[in-house]
Chain A
Amino acid sequence: MFRSQGRESSSGPRLPGKWLTISLFLAPALVVYLVFVIIPIIQAAHFSLYKWNGLGPLEDFIGLANYQVALASEVFWQAVGNNVLVIVLSLLLQIPFSLGLAILLNRRFPGRAIFRLLFFVPYVLSEAITGIVFSLLLQPDALVDSGLKGIGLEGLIQDWLGNTDIVMLTLFVIISWKYFGFHMILLLAGLQGIPREIEEAALIDGAGRRQAFRYVTLPLIGPTLRVSVFLSVIGALQLFDLVWVMTGGGPLTATTTMAVNMFKSGFEEQQMGYGSALAVLLFLCALVVALLYQRFVLRRDIDGAVTAYNG
């Protein structure tokens, strides 16, 4: 991590100065990190052991009862299911779609920059604005419905946000609309990092376009793809803003995600202890996913350079 010994000999005192510099540069970040990340996490874990409405002092210690209630509650598992659904659909549809677009936009054709810009625009909007705009578009008889009617597809019209069977899919489409441009840009950057010569060499060696993609392009954008997947999964786990603005987790609990469940329990039902327990569970979920992903998927990207040296 720290490879600048060579330069240090030229300037000033050796070790003490170095550590002073390190701590001076690290301190502000560490303080912010401690106050806004570490301490709140510890606090949440602390609160989660109490029955507490958020108003009075913490008195009613109930051990792990909040966790027992959470794991036994239907809503909790429905929320987990909704998060998992978004993760799975993102991986199956959103990322491949973004990759396809990135490959198209990596070719040379007139107006390429405009397309790149257009596809990236949704990502610039905040989730709250996206939610409000789509809520308006999806009202009964509003733009989406009248659009479908206009092209003779009246049969497809649904109560987009009111039907508990499809509302989660409606939200997924909107989430994808918002984020595909982001993944596309990431992947495009990855594609542009691949030297054209390598692909050309493959083609000269007689590989078809499909083979060149499968055995040359795909492995080479692997690192980017893996980061893209990672961001997508973490994003799906935290899903809150858009859902809160559009449906509030409803109708009933149809679109309740883990974060929505946490917020509702904490602030609407004023069960801060229980809400904190849900927050800790969400944190653990994300932590486990992230650690496993690093251990088994991202490892080769991180270790790659080093192993090449040693091996």
Chain B
Amino acid sequence: MSNPRRTLGLLGVLALTISACSSGGSASSAPASAAPSAAPSAAASAPASAAAEPVTIDWWHIATGDPGKADFAAIAKAYETAHPNVKIKTTVTENEAFKTKLSATPADAYPDLFQSWGGGTMAAQADAGLLQDITAAVAPWKDTVNAGAMSIYQYKGVQYGIPWDMGMIGFWYNKDLFTKAGITSPPKTWDEYLAALPKLKAAGVAPLAIAGKDKWPSMHLWSYLLLRNGGGDALSQMIQTGDWNTDACTKAGQAVLALNALDPYQKGYASADYNSEAASVGNGKAAMELMGQWAPSVQKDQSIGKKGLGDKLGWFAFPTVTGGAGAATDGIGGGNGIAVSKNAPPEAIDFLQFFMSKENQDKLNTDGVGLSTTVGTETTVTDPNLQQVLAGRGAATFMQLYLDQATSGPLAAAFNDATVALFLGKSTPEKACQALTDAAKK
């Protein structure tokens, strides 16, 4: 090396690149937390004596918009008021950024409580020893929460988190635009659905909004086609064996290609992110999107004047596919929850119990922040569309957690990558199924 100085300079230039990929040596340390809890149920009975030691609960969530953000802050504040020794430090991060932030967080700096969707990612975190077994700690009050939703936050029989929101994906549509296009009732079968698209186009709107940049919205569409074609048992089988070279998978891909042929997507869909997808529906430029229970609030947040569609917005379940093994009541769903990390103090779990109280959850329901899983809060869901989602959740004969959440790592990424390629017309059904099979082996 003729000139060490310049070489050093170059290394410096690259330092950021490299260090971005190495997550060793933590900088920030988790706030002082009590010893890993053998959390006795005593913790559940509000340990708030005046002389109690000060405790900080570090909580990361993704409610970046109101009313969710304000509601969460209010709940934390209420808990702090009732427990003067507890300080709740919240960090609010946008959905995609949160996933990145968490995956770059060293084990010992994990927040005490953090956003989780349960399923595969949570299982990977549990395998790595990052999570706390809260089975015993929540036992006294676990029956106040919907059991099916709780099971998504279990792994190998151990409870690692609590769901506060659980819903089912379906089509959110603009009733006015449907009427304008001469569609009197929401389609019940996939054939009816396909027949409706040209009518909407003729009425001058984009029939369906997707998000090619974020990928997962269209992945859900493909997963529903797979579920309707193959049925719940076949889908569970594919997830378990990792063999996606199946008839149902191919048929789902073919259905996507048939959908593409009608060119139903909004302008710029290939580079659109989810927010712009929601904006196009919320502003009445696109007639519908396939989305979870959060759709109305995001549409509102992203639309001009933050108005959304109001009572023009309707919901219908994913249509059935003729000859498919899946039932109309089979669903794909999921929602938001809070996972508890290894070093979280008992107060964190006590806070969760407070968070899940009927009073707090009723508030989240009435504000439309989520569809609460606390038993007895169903009545506070007043929005007719969300009532339908809730009815769908209640009547489900099979419920699959979002595929990119049920799995983790390369396969989870491949669901998004392989299916978006189909929607952009750059792949074939066979290639997509093969890509999933390959990813499952990684």
Taking Cβ atoms with an 8 Å cutoff, the residues of A that contact B are: 33, 35-41, 43-44, 47, 53-56, 139-141, 159-164, 167, 234, 238, 240, 247-248, 250-252, 259, 262-264, 266-272, 275-276, 278-280, 282-283, 286-287, 290-291, 294-295, 298-299, 302
Contacts and interface: CB of A to CB of B under 8 A. Distances in A.
A238 B13 contact: yes
Contacts of A167: 271
Contacts of B13: 234, 238, 286
Contact of A53 (B215, B272, B409): B409
A295 B2 contact: yes
Interface residues of B, number: 54
Given A275-B21, A290-B6, 15 more contacts: A33-B12, A36-B15, A43-B22, A54-B23, A55-B125, A160-B271, A164-B270, A252-B426, A262-B20, A269-B409, A270-B103, A271-B410, A271-B442, A287-B11, A298-B6
B1 interface: yes
A286 B10 CA distance: 8
Q: Name the residue among B10, B271, B417 with the largest chain A CB count within 10 angstroms.
A: B271
Contact of B127 (A54, A56, A251): A56
B271 A159 contact: yes
Contact of A250 (B12, B23, B129, B212): B212
A159 B269 CA distance: 9
A250 B14 contact: no
19 contacts: A40-B24, A41-B18, A43-B24, A44-B18, A47-B22, A55-B124, A55-B130, A140-B268, A159-B270, A162-B271, A250-B215, A251-B213, A269-B413, A270-B408, A278-B21, A279-B18, A294-B2, A294-B7, A302-B2
Contacts of B22: 40, 43-44, 47, 276, 279
Q: Name the residue among B18, B24, B214 with the largest chain A CB count within 10 angstroms.
A: B18
A162 B266 CA distance: 12
B161 to A, nearest CB: 16
Contacts of B24: 39-40, 43
Given A164-B426, A271-B410, A266 B270 contact: no
A291 B270 contact: no
B17 A282 contact: yes
Given A55-B130, A251-B212, A291 B7 contact: yes
Interface of B: 1-3, 6-8, 10-15, 17-25, 99-100, 103-104, 107, 124-125, 127-130, 212-215, 267-272, 276, 408-410, 412-413, 417, 420-421, 424, 426, 442
5 residue pairs, one from A and one from B, having the closest CB atoms: A162-B270, A55-B128, A161-B271, A140-B267, A56-B128
Contacts of A278: 21
A87 to B, nearest CB: 15
Contacts of B1: 291
A163 to B, nearest CB: 7
Nearest to B21: A279
B212 A37 contact: no
Contacts of B413: 264, 268-269
Contacts of A159: 267-268, 270-271
Contacts of A56: 127-129
Contacts of A139: 268, 276
A9 to B, nearest CB: 27
Given A33-B8, A290-B7, A294-B2, A162 B17 contact: no
B17 A251 contact: no
Nearest to A280: B18
A141 B14 CA distance: 39
Given A247-B213, A269-B409, A279 B17 contact: yes
A285 B10 CA distance: 12
A233 B372 CA distance: 53
Contacts of B100: 267
Q: Name the residue among B3, B17, B408, B412 with the largest chain A CB count within 10 angstroms.
A: B17
Contact of A299 (B2, B8, B124, B442): B2
Nearest to A238: B17
A298 B25 CA distance: 37
B17 to A, nearest CB: 6
A110 B354 CA distance: 70
Contacts of B104: 267
A282 B14 CA distance: 9
Contacts of B420: 250-252
A55 B110 CA distance: 11
Contacts of A36: 15, 19
A204 B3 CA distance: 40
Contacts of A160: 271
